[in-house]
Amino acid sequence: MSSSERRQEKKEKYRFLIYGGIISVFLAAYLVHLFSMQVVESLVYQNQANVVSNRSQVIPTQRGRIYDRNVTDPIASNQSSFALQITPGDLETPQSRDTLVTNLSRILHLSTSDIERLVPLRSRNFDPVKVFSNVPFQVISEIAENIDDFPALSWTPLPQRFYPEGENFAHVLGYVGDINQQELQVLFNQGYNQNSIIGKTGIEQTLDLVLKGKDGLAFNQVDVFGRRSAQPRVIQEPELGDSVVLTLDRKIQQLSIDALGGRIGTALVLNPRTGEILSLVSNPGYDPNSFYGQNGSQNFTRIQQATDSPFINRNIQSAAPPASTFKILMSIIAMEEKAIDPLHTVRCTGSIAIGDRIFRCNVPTGHGDVNLYQALAQSCNVYFYSLAYDRLRPEDIFNYAQRLGFGNLTGIDLPGEVRGLVPSREWKERTFNTPWVGGDTVNLSIGQGFMTVTPLQLSNLTASIANGGPVYTPHIVKEIRDPITLELKEQVEPTILFDSDLNRETIEIVREAMRKVITEGTANVVITTPSVTVAGKTGTAQTGDAEKKHSWFTAYAPYDTNDPRDPVVVTVWVDAANDWDWWAPKAANFILHGIYNDMTYAEVLQDLRPLWYITREMLNGEN
């Protein structure tokens, strides 16, 4: 073999080795990469596949129950209901969607246009879309029997709020509904989502975080189109909402409802020693159960638009002139400021001249010579006109009114409370661009004019007298309990809202004067219960229409300090929209008699008859 041939053979050998090496390197790199993909990264791809093939599903929990103070049957609970849902991917043709809309319209008693807006269009999406909540079992049963008429429709259990007492506790309990976008923006970080049910008013709103519980969570395995391909796997069980015990007494609440009757107004009973509210009635009311189900939206709108405003809790959301009940406060000011001796008399001739105006008494012929005890008992306007105009400054009245809670929030654990109004010189100049004058002062002295208070604020004033100064924060919530065992988890302790820090002599004088209202004054003919001693004050607020007057009565019992029974404050306000029948003290009489005899309203009527009946002739001159 020649040298040239050997050199050529050597070159070919080197070339083979080089090409072989390059191929080996590429092959090794490929094998390493393949190993990495198949073995090292398998867990990563497996997790990604699980994410794609699994969809989360919320398991709704049950909202906590609410009880009255006796913890017997709940006054707010849950009942079985269902949500209708549609799977867009199962709507095979446009005709199937039309069939679904038509049949849903028939069975739900809604227009096809209403249904049309809610039913999703056909798509490749196999995630169920909720279209109706709170559907009763009877409707579900009818759908199930005719399932071929409802393509792509399914249902899922959904707990529905239920109020066994109907409207009896509506203004205290409130109601629940679907969360809206504004609420979701505020509450998203507290565990709420777009499908959450949330308290809208009342205790349902105040204690929503306590009552709502915690939804469970399950995973569904789905195919590439989103269709479920296996049974759901529960990874988090739902947690029940806690139970709530209120201070209300179911029997006293019913007694107060019956005593107030169908009149527009309020009836409030509280324990002055603790601030616990035993009864809170506001008329007109509403049945929150009517907001759920097929016609819920229409019922809500109808009540919302009603001219007598059923949604307003008039105990805390409506303020009116306190009328002659304000004379309790005027008596306190007179004693605290030593403006007049309680036995000093003022002659009442039936009217008094202030500037160029004549201000009249509630008795046209006058009361004659009256001292503070007699003036409060007989509700003599002239006495308090003279007291305010001749012996006090308007600022004294403004300051004491605020000191005793008027114009301020009470802090009750219900939403929507209003402050009412304590006027001032500055307020009048700012509001009406006119100065405060003497006529404003004398009007204020009998609870007329610009002053407005809520029934709860007036109850706190009476509680201050009953307690000898301190006023406890009024509250509705008593306890938080375990949802299953009802074991106590948290208890609300009484807290002092304010202490009026009144002189002992002032308290005793005002108490005695309020007792005389019952024994020899304006309430003598109507507070007829022999079962407990009562001290209180009547009031009739003018409205500009001689035939339309607000009726007030506030009282505490027992007046007898040796009586060992728990005390109560009862305040009743009857709106001027009712035909005048001076009902506030009558209703209070029935409530007090029922409380201290453990009677129903029917039993009270039977027990007090014929003592309770009052003729119109006996009412002349009342104030």
Q: Do 184 and 262 have their domain in common?
A: no
CA 326 from chain centre, in angstroms, equals: 28
Q: What is the CATH number of the domain that holds 523?
A: 3.40.710.10
Both structure tokens of 101: 């809309």
Residue 12 located in a structural domain: no
Range of the domain at 480: 250-619
- Tally of structural domains, the chain: 2
Q: Do 168 and 268 have their domain in common?
A: no
pLDDT band of 51, cuts 50, 70, 90 = very low
Compare 197 and 64 and report the one with higher pLDDT.
64
Residue 44 located in a structural domain: no
Residue 18 located in a structural domain: no
Last residue of a domain, one of 246, 265, 280: 246
pLDDT value of position 382: 97
- 269 Cβ contact list (under 8 Å, min separation 6): 252, 256, 277, 278, 279, 280, 568, 569, 570, 591, 595
pLDDT band of 13, cuts 50, 70, 90 = low
Residue 25 located in a structural domain: no
Strands 66-67 and 243-246: parallel
Residue 375 located in a structural domain: yes
CB 1 within 8 A of CB 10: no
In 10 A of CB 222, how many CB atoms?
A: 17
Last residue of a domain, one of 197, 217, 246: 246
Q: What is the pTM of this model?
A: 0.84
The predicted model gives 536-559 an average pLDDT of 89
Q: Do 226 and 370 have their domain in common?
A: no
Q: What is the CATH number of the domain that holds 127?
A: 3.90.1310.10
- 381 Cβ contact list (under 8 Å, min separation 6): 324, 359, 360, 361, 362, 446, 623
Q: Do 256 and 119 have their domain in common?
A: no
Please, what is the average pLDDT of the chain? 88
Q: Do 468 and 359 have their domain in common?
A: yes
Q: Do 347 and 474 have their domain in common?
A: yes
Q: Do 272 and 360 have their domain in common?
A: yes
Residue 123 located in a structural domain: yes
pLDDT band of 290, cuts 50, 70, 90 = very high
Q: Do 499 and 607 have their domain in common?
A: yes
Coil, helix or strand at residue 18: helix
Q: Do 264 and 372 have their domain in common?
A: yes
Compare 84 and 123 and report the one with higher pLDDT.
84
Handedness of CA 20, 24, 25, 27 (dihedral sign): positive
- 117 Cβ contact list (under 8 Å, min separation 6): none
Decide if pLDDT at 601 tops 60.
Answer: yes
Q: Which of 151-165, 219-233, 271-285, 389-403 has the lowest mean pLDDT?
A: 219-233
For residue range 465-489, what is the model confidence (pLDDT) as tens digits? 999 999 999 999 999 999 999 999 9
pLDDT band of 246, cuts 50, 70, 90 = very high
- 335-352 burial, b for 16+ CB within 10 Å, e for fewer? bbeebbebeeebebebeb
The predicted model gives 415-433 an average pLDDT of 97
Both structure tokens of 2: 């020649």
For residue range 88-134, what is the model confidence (pLDDT) as tens digits? 877 878 888 888 888 888 888 888 888 888 777 777 777 777 777 77
Residue 291 located in a structural domain: yes
Q: Do 112 and 228 have their domain in common?
A: yes
The predicted model gives 618-622 an average pLDDT of 46
**Residue 199 and residue 208: Cα distance in Å, rounded?**
6
First to last CA, the chain: 143
**Residue 450 and residue 396: Cα distance in Å, rounded?**
16
pLDDT band of 623, cuts 50, 70, 90 = low
- Angle of CA points 547, 552, 555, to nearest 5°: 155
Strands 496-499 and 233-236: unpaired
Last residue of a domain, one of 246, 267, 289: 246
Q: Do 64 and 204 have their domain in common?
A: yes
The predicted model gives 63-83 an average pLDDT of 93
Q: Do 94 and 223 have their domain in common?
A: yes
At residue 157, φ and ψ (nearest 5 deg) are: -60, 140
Residue 11 located in a structural domain: no
pLDDT value of position 36: 65
